[in-house]
Every structure is written in C-alpha cells, then in structure tokens.
Chain A
Amino acid sequence: MPADKSDILQGTLDLMVLKTLEAMGPLHGYGIARRIEQISKEALQINQGTIYASLVRLMQKRWISGAWGTSDNNRKAKFYSITRAGGKQLNTQAENWERISAVIGRVLRMAGQG
C-alpha cells in the first residue's frame, strides 16, 4: 500500500492539476506538468511521473475526464479536461486551501513574535 505520509503533497498536486485544467482547458500529461513548472516559476521541480498518479486519482473520482487526441506536433496523446464535478470540487478545495494557509500563516507569525 502506498504510504500515507505524502498525503498533503498529493492533495496539493491534485489541486494544482485541477486548477491548471480549469485555466487552460484540455491538456495532456506533459502539458500539465510543464504548465505547473512554469507557473511556479520553476520553483517547483516535480518528478513529472508523479503527475500520472494524480491524474489516476482525479479520474477515479470523476473530477476530470480523459480522451485520446492529437497534439500540436501530431503526436497521439491523452487529453484531460475538468468535469463539472471537478469544477465544484476545485472551488471548495481552493477555499479550504486559502483558509488553511491563512490560518497557518497567522499561527506562524504569532509564533515568530512570541
């Protein structure tokens, strides 16, 4: 069984994938990985393979759907797009994320003052 330690990281990656798909429309795995790296200003150098575990999880939950298509330079690739359920999920998770990060930020600042 996969270990549970990286839960937060997994969840974060899933959220980023969802957001990317919402912003960019249908994309293939490489495109998603590339986009996340670019947006994060190359601060987040992910092992690109891990994107696929995230995609499988999101597919299983029906938050994204996948279909085979043709890429810009004529390669067969699987394109993922966000579903309506995925959109809703993105909203709630994004809110959650903002709230938690705000709370964590406050706590950390407070600890710094103390």
Chain B
Amino acid sequence: MLSWIRTLGSRTRAWLWPDRVDQDFERELSTHLDMLADENIRQGVPPEEARRAARIKLGGVAQLKETNRELRGLPFIETFFQDARYATRILRKNPGFTAVAVLTLALGIGANTAIFSVVYAVLLKPLPYANPDQLVTAFQANTQEGVPETGVSYPNFEEWRAQNHVFSELAGITAHQLTLTGRGEPSVVDTCVVTPEHFALLDVKPLQGRIFYPEDGKQGAPPAVIVSEHLWRGTFGADPKMLGSSIILDKRPFTVVGIMPAGFRSPFLNTKQEVWIPLVQDPLFGNWMARRGGHWLPAFGRLKPGVSIARAQAEMDAISERLASEFPAENKGWTVRLVPLQKEIVGDVRTALLVLLAAVGLVLLIACANIANLLLTRATARSKEIAVRVALGAGRSRIIRQLLSETAVLGMLGGMVGIALAYGGVQVLSSLIPGDVPRLNAIHVDKLVLAFALVLSAIASVAFGLVPAMFSVNSNIGGSLREGGGRSGESRNRRRARSVLAAAEIALAMVLLVAAGLLLRSFSKLTAVSPGFESQNIVKAEVSLPQFQYSKPQQWTAFSDELLTRIQAQPGLQNSAIAIPVPIVDGFINLGFEIEGAAPKSSSESRTADYVSVSPEYFRVMGIPLLSGRIFNQQDIASAPRVTLISKALAERYFPNQDPIGKHLNFGFPPNGEVSREIVGIVGDVRDTSLGNAPGPMMYVPSAQAPFWGADLVVRSTLSTSAVAAAIRQEVRRIDKDLPVTDVGKLPDLLDASVSQQRFRTFLLGVFAGMALVLAATGIFGVISYSVSCRTNEIGIRVALGASRSTILRMILRETLLLTFAGLLIGIPCALLASHLIGHMLFGVSAHDPATLVAVAFVLAAAALLAGYVPARRAMRVDPMTALRYE
C-alpha cells in the first residue's frame, strides 16, 4: 500500500515536469551508449561499427524513452485529457448533434436537480434546530374514538413534564390570532402561544433581548412578548427602542422582551409566526389551562441524549396509564403518540415529492435512452473509423475509454447547462409551491444539490455511453472496413439495440403520461365536484373580537347582530350572512353528540359531526337546500328553545328510516358541551373538510344561540370584491375603529387555493409527461429516419421494381407502429404498477382507469406515427435512379 502511494507520488511529479525527466533520461542513455561503444572499441571494433553495435545492444532509444515516459507518468490521466480534447473537437464538428444531446441531457438533469433541491430542503435536510434528531412530537390519541392525533390538556402536560425521565424538556405550542393596535391601521398578528420552555428546548438565540424564562409562564406574571425580526423591521420600522417597550395585543399591553431572527420558525405551525406569547397570557387558551378534559395543546420534546424513541414511548405509555386510572373521566382511552419531529412535519408531502422525483428520474432515463440512440447512430457512421483503430492495434478497453470520454464531455456539458436550468427551475418552483408545504428550510440550490447534479450527469453519461461503446468495439472489423462507411452496414445487433431503446422510451413515456393523465382527470373531477354550496359571487371576510374587551357572549351576539344589520343595509349587500366556520376555507369543528332517547352508544362507536354556527340567512346566501322542516329564523334567539339543523348525511346515518325532525341532540361548543337541541330541519350535504372528502354528518346551530368571539361574513354580491371589502371595513370601523378585517377573498379563489397542492403536482407531472412525450417522439424519429437512410438503396430497388409510393409509406409506418406497439406492450403493465403507487392521490378516478390508458396509448401512437411520418415521406420520395447510383 505504502509503496503504491510512493509510486503515485513519483509518477505525479514526473507528470507535472515531464521535460526535466525526459532530458535526464536522455543524458543517461547517451552515457550508456558511450560506455558500450568504448568497450567495443577496446575490443578492437572500428568506432563507426562500435557505435552501431552499441545501439543494437541497448535497444531503440525512442522506444525506451516512450516506455520510460509511460512508466513514469500518469498515462490514465494523460490519455483522458487527450481523449477529452479529441472528443471536444469531434463534438464541435457536429454542432447539431451536440446541441440536441446537450439540451436533452440538460433538461433531464436540470429538472431532476430542481426537484431534488425541493425534496432535499423539505424531506432530507435536517431541521434547522440543534440536534434535530432528538426532537419528537408528543400528541394524544384515542383509538376508541378514532382520534389519530390531537393536543393534550394543560394539566396532563404538566404531569408529563413532572413524571417523565426521558425528555430533557417538553414544551407546548399552539397558534392564535391577536389584534395589534396602536400602530396605524389595526391588524391581526399570527401569534405562537407557547409554554415558556419552548425557546430553551429548541436551543435558539434571540436577535436581541432574551427568550422566555419559566417565570413568564406563571399565573400573574407581567405579560411578555417576543416579536419576529420581520414584524420588528416591518410594522415597527426597526425601532431601536423596541426592547422594553410595550405593544397592544387584543387591547392589552405586552412588554417586548426579545426579537427572534428572521430565519427562526417554531416547528409545525404553518402560520406566519409574528409574535410569541406565554400560554398563560393568551386571552383564549389561558382560560383553558385549568381544565383537564380538553385536547388542545400540541406538545413536543427533546429526548435526553441516548434515549431511544421506543424507550420514551414506553415511559409515556406508563404515564398515560397512571393518568387514566387517576382521572378516568378525562383520560380513559387516551394514549400518547411520539413521532420524530421531522416525520411529523413532512407528513403526506413526502409521497407527493417522491412521486415527482421518480417522474423526473424517468424523464432523465428517457433523455439518456435518446442520447444513447443518437450515439448508436453516430457509432454506426463511425464504425469505419473505429475499425481502422482496432486494425492499427488499439485495445478494446482503450477504444471504449475514448468513446466514454466523448460521452463524459457531453455529460459534463449537459450537467453544466442543467445546473443553470436548475437555478432557474428552483426559482419557478419556489413560487409555485403551495403555502401548506412545510418549509422550515429555504429551498435553494446548495452544495449537496450541486453534488447530486454532478453525480447524476456522471451516471447519465456512463448510462448512455456504455451501450454504444460496447457495440462499436464488438462489431466485426473486417465487415466494417469493407462496407466503406456503413450506410447499409448497421449490424443487426446494433439495430435491435436502437429499436429496444426507442421502445423503452415509449414505455417510460407511457408510465409518465398515464400518471399525469390520472392526476389530470382526478384534478378536473376535484375542481368540478359540487361542494354542496354555491361559491360563485360570494365574498368572505373575517372579523375577530379582542377577548379582553369583548369577553361576554352577549357582547359577541350584539356585535354580530349589529354588523350584519349594518351590512345588509348597504346597497348590493342584502345577501349577507354570518357563519363560523366557513366550509373548506376555515376548516371544520368536529364535536361529539348524543341522541336523546337512543340506546347508549357502544364503546367502539363514536358519534361526531361537524359543527357550524350560522345566522338564518346563511342557507339562502350559500344556496344550501332545505330538504325538510324549516330553516332558522329571527325567533331562534338566546332566550328561545335551542334548535339545530342537521345535514342529510347525519339524518341518513343516525336516523335510518325515521323522521329526525322533533328529536333532540345533545351537543355544544365547549365549555357548554351538553345542551339539548331540537332538530327542526334537514339541509343538503356540504363538503366542509376539503373538496376531496365526501360530505360527513353536520349540525348547524343559530349564531344567536351559539355566539363566537368573532364573525365570518359571507356576502353574495355582484359588486367587485374590493367594493364589498371596502363596505365591510367601513361598517366594522363604525362599530369599533380598532377591529381589523382580515382574510377577505372571493370564495371561488379560496376554494381554488385549497387544492393548490394537487394543482402543483398535477402541473409538474404534466410538464414532465409532456417532456417525456416529446423525447420519446424524437427517439422514434431518430430510429426511423436512420432506418430510412440505411434502406435508401433497398427502397430504390423496390420502387424500380414497381412498388408504389403508398406501399413504401406503409412499409415505413409499419416499422414505426411495430416499435410503438412493442413500447406500449411493455409500458402498460409498468404504467399500471406506477399508477397503483399514486392511487391514494386520486380523486374520483380508479388507478386503473381504462379510459386514461386508452387515451394515453392513442396519444403516444399518434405522436409516434407523426414522428415516423416525416422520414416515411422522405422514403416515399426516393428517386430510384439516385438511390441506385448512390451505391
């Protein structure tokens, strides 16, 4: 080993200073010659003869020098550079070929690199916290009630912290929106509501000031707030006296104790994160801290060094069992679920991104197959050159190396252009990526991504270079030399290889096109699905009331009543209603309910429905049909008997073959959980969770009987969105000048945004499939046109013997179709397999949708025929005289 390194060192030296070594050796040889000659002369040989004999004895000087150079230098590198220079010259001589190959490759590499940089930033890069692999989320779950994961109550959280030995720290975090006043227009700030351990746990340093201390979390502590650098620079103009000053949140002063750097984000909240406040100071959640029953605080922790997640899980299981026996009413059936933070954050985006990565991988494969095909064509044209080389004694490995150097140069060029494309691609992708893709890491082309691109181009160049190189070397030298340039000299093997490559391209393109077709169909079904309400011409706006000032439900009702009355009085805004939450756009509130007089539910059955609080006009404004009974009216006020409307799905599931009207349900928004309400009517189903989910059971209550600390306005109007927004702002300000109006938007736009992830992946996969189609068609075109040019002679003879032009055309097209069908035959099972993998992303389309398969097959066949038609026409026009003379 050591001697090997020494050898390399000495060789490298000689390689770096070849002239010096050469001169040295020449001197040595001449001395040797002189000495030999001297001896010959001593033996009486005449001087002339003596020198000649000496030269014979020593051997050819030039040859010796050559051997010496080879022994001393680094022949591998030397020949590589030599080959690369030669390759560059050859490629420059064929600019068309080079441009096509480099561009194809660059597209493949660029697309791969761009997608990989997204995958890397979202899936692979460690979270931007210290020792991120120690971070886990701690959620509560209840399999009996079908709750996969939810938050924990604060008293339970305290028990977890006190009793566990596996976490060095546990923290809770949730999001809230607070009203920031006192600085110009009142605005809503996205607030992270945290237990004070949060910052210490993540081990982050503030830009200025301090993080929260345990004292900040105590009852009665002075309200403290940490603001984001972004808010500080934006809203507060980078005020140098920010620390220690006080800002007004929900009408209450908070002292600014710290500023967080712009790069910092708390985990798993996809909100803007503008300020952080201790949980105890939150106007809403602060009041819930004493209750053991709720499940609202998502928690996460840092494992002690060396503690495995399995051990932590075991200990938390023991703790939840203890809690269940100690507080059975609140904790029976509830367990703890620990998940590595990274996994939790990435969630279901993972599959979508991996599918995209696989898709671009296929595009690159097709690109490589295409270039391999081009190279095979050229190798055929160059078979004479190579035969001459072999005849002159070039070794097989030497020729393969030379051909591979050519593809390596191509690969590198492609890689470089590809990286440039990737930079652009990442820009475009970043702007396209929907907001709900978790992005704790910024997406950009970084070192690892570049390394990926380089490795990719290296692999690609070997992949598409090796096959043609092998074929070139293995061909029959004598045959190639005789055939003189190889117009008709393509060996059968090589021809088969080219056809296999073209068919493989078709097959790969089929996989991509089917996947894209399925997603496209699925997406069009998704956007065409009726959500159960009319979204056209509806504008939605949100007003939330600061809870310190508006603390009583009576105030909330009074506010919404006045607001609605004022807005309805505006011209063009008569069709207005209040609802919380607005379906899809706001998410949903799922509550349990009991049916009065029904048999008690079994433990495995859970009765839950989505809860909406609405003003009576809501159903008319949203176009949700009344199926039986009556809608709410102005008499359904707080002092009147409690009433509810149920959805068709609820009626069908829980009152099969019965008339639910007149029956009573027990439910309510916490803390008023058990309120008996009479069912007065049944309304149509609404998709309230997402467009893709089938409607579930829902129950509506009149807002007067179930007020919220805020209002979502829905207005059906033919006025412009901005006019509606302006009218709403004006009326809100007349009631209270400190209330912000937020989240104004047209309902159709908001629904559109709710499928942005689907649109994103459909769009990208569509682009990739398009690329695949074009590449595959190019591949077919290449194979067929080459075949035509090889057969010019044969075609000429056929025409001379009386074959009609249409016969020739058919002959060539038959060859095209044969290739295509072979490709489709391989492609269909592959496509079925691949579409199986994306099955769960589909909506309203089977993964094995025959219509898509057939359509894709037709598109591919059409594209292939078109690609084959161009050379076929050329074949048809072959003039027999020219063709025969050509020989």
Contacts and interface: CB of A to CB of B under 8 A. Distances in A.
Interface of A: 1-2, 28-30, 33-34, 47-50, 52-53, 56-57, 59-62, 71, 73, 75-78
Contacts of B28: 29, 52, 77-78
Contact of B68 (A1, A56, A77): A56
B31 A53 contact: no
Contacts of A34: 39
A53 B59 contact: no
B230 interface: no
A71 B39 CA distance: 14
A75 B31 contact: yes
21 contacts: A2-B71, A28-B31, A29-B28, A29-B32, A34-B39, A47-B57, A53-B68, A53-B71, A56-B68, A60-B71, A61-B3, A61-B7, A62-B6, A71-B35, A75-B31, A75-B35, A76-B27, A77-B31, A77-B32, A78-B28, A78-B31
B806 interface: no
Given A2-B70, A52-B64, 7 more contacts: A1-B395, A28-B32, A47-B59, A48-B32, A49-B58, A52-B29, A78-B27
Interface string B53-85: 000011111011001101110010000000000
A48 B31 contact: no
B630 to A, nearest CB: 95
Point out which of B58, B61, B395 has the most chain A C-beta atoms below 10 A from its C-beta: B58
A51 to B, nearest CB: 9
A59 B13 CA distance: 13
Q: Enumerate the 9 nearest inter-chain pairs by beta-carbon distance, A residue then B residue, closest first.
A: A49-B59, A30-B35, A60-B7, A49-B64, A47-B59, A60-B10, A77-B31, A30-B32, A61-B3
A75 B64 contact: no
Nearest to B70: A2
Contacts of A75: 31, 34-35
B38 interface: yes
Contacts of A57: 71
A28 B3 CA distance: 24
A76 B71 CA distance: 24
Interface in B1-48: 3, 6-7, 10-11, 24-25, 27-29, 31-32, 34-36, 38-39
Interface of B: 3, 6-7, 10-11, 24-25, 27-29, 31-32, 34-36, 38-39, 57-61, 63-64, 67-68, 70-72, 75, 395
Contacts of B63: 49
A29 B32 CA distance: 7
A1 B396 CA distance: 12
Given A71-B31, A76-B27, A48 B59 contact: yes
A15 to B, nearest CB: 15
Say what secondary structure dominates the interface of chain B.
helix
Contact of B67 (A2, A30, A48): A2
Contacts of A56: 68, 71-72
Nearest to B39: A34
A54 to B, nearest CB: 10
B6 A61 contact: yes
A1 B58 contact: no
A32 B102 CA distance: 57
Contacts of A52: 25, 28-29, 64, 68
Contact of B59 (A2, A50, A73): A50
Contacts of B25: 52
B6 A1 contact: no
A57 B32 CA distance: 19
A2 B70 CA distance: 8
A102 to B, nearest CB: 27
B572 to A, nearest CB: 88
Contacts of A77: 28, 31-32, 35
A57 B67 CA distance: 12
Contacts of B32: 28-30, 33, 48, 77
A71 B31 CA distance: 10
Nearest to B25: A52
Contacts of A50: 59
A53 B72 CA distance: 9
A52 B68 CA distance: 8
Contacts of A48: 32, 36, 57-59
Nearest to A33: B32
B71 A1 contact: no
A76 B34 CA distance: 11
A25 B28 CA distance: 19
A59 B39 CA distance: 27
- Most chain-B CB neighbours within 10 Å: which of A34, A60, A78? A60
A71 B38 CA distance: 13
Nearest to A45: B57
B10 A30 contact: no
A50 B32 CA distance: 12
B658 to A, nearest CB: 91
B31 A30 contact: yes
A35 to B, nearest CB: 13
Contacts of B11: 60
Contacts of B7: 60-61
A28 B67 CA distance: 19
B68 A76 contact: no
Contacts of B34: 75
Contacts of B70: 1-2
A53 B28 CA distance: 13
A52 B10 CA distance: 16
Contacts of B39: 34
A48 B68 CA distance: 14
A83 to B, nearest CB: 11
Contacts of B72: 56, 60
Contacts of B75: 1
B534 to A, nearest CB: 79
A77 B29 CA distance: 9
A30 B31 CA distance: 8
Choose among B24, B35, B57, B75 the residue with the greatest number of A CB atoms under 10 Å from its CB: B35
Contacts of A28: 31-32, 35
Contacts of A71: 31, 35
A78 B68 CA distance: 16
Contacts of B29: 49, 52
B67 A53 contact: yes
B336 to A, nearest CB: 66
Nearest to B11: A60
A48 B40 CA distance: 15
Contacts of B27: 76, 78
Contacts of B61: 49
Which of A52, A53, A62, A71 counts the most chain B CB atoms within 10 A?
A52
Contacts of A29: 28, 31-32
Nearest to B56: A47
A8 B60 CA distance: 23
B455 to A, nearest CB: 28
A75 B36 CA distance: 12
Given A71-B31, A75-B35, A76-B27, A60 B64 contact: no
B6 to A, nearest CB: 5
A47 B67 CA distance: 14
Contacts of B67: 2, 53
A57 B36 CA distance: 23
A29 B67 CA distance: 16
A52 B31 CA distance: 13
Nearest to A59: B10
A8 B38 CA distance: 32
Nearest to A31: B35
A1 B395 CA distance: 9
A2 B67 CA distance: 8
Q: Which of A1, A2, A71 has the most CB of B within 10 A?
A: A1
A61 B1 CA distance: 11
Contacts of B24: 78
A61 B6 CA distance: 6
B536 to A, nearest CB: 77
B585 to A, nearest CB: 72
Nearest to B59: A49
